[in-house]
Amino acid sequence: MAAAYLTHHQKVLRLYKKSLRHIESWCIFRDKYRFYACLLRARFDENKHEKDMMKATMMLKAGEEEFWANQHPQPYLFPDSPGGTSYERYECYKVPEWCLDHWHPSEKAMYPDYFAKREQWKKLRMRTRPVINLNILE
Distance, CA of 103 to CA of 92 (rounded, Å): 20
Under rule CB under 8 A, residue 94 binds another protein:
yes
Q: Buried b vs exposed e over 83-113: b needs ≥16 C-beta within 10 Å?
A: eeeeeeeeeeeeeeeeeeeeeeeeeeeeeee
- Site track 53-92 with another protein (rule: CB under 8 A), x = hit: -----------------x--xx-xx-xx----xxxxxxxx
Residue 126 Cβ vs another protein, minimum distance, rounded to whole Å: 30
Task: Give strand ranges (E) for 2-105.
Answer: none
- Kindly tell me which of 33 and 115 has the beta carbon lying closer to another protein: 33
Under rule CB under 8 A, residue 20 binds another protein:
no
- Kindly tell me which of 91 and 97 has the beta carbon lying closer to another protein: 91
Under rule CB under 8 A, residue 44 binds another protein:
no
Question: Taking a C-beta distance cutoff of 8 angstroms, is the pair 44, 16 a contact?
Answer: yes
Span interacting with another protein, options 29-37, 46-54, 103-111, 125-133, rule CB under 8 A: 29-37
Residue 106: φ, ψ to 5°: -65, -35
C-alpha closest to that of 13 among 41, 34, 50? 41
Q: Which residues bind another protein (CB under 8 A)?
A: 23-30, 32, 35-36, 70, 73-74, 76-77, 79-80, 85-94
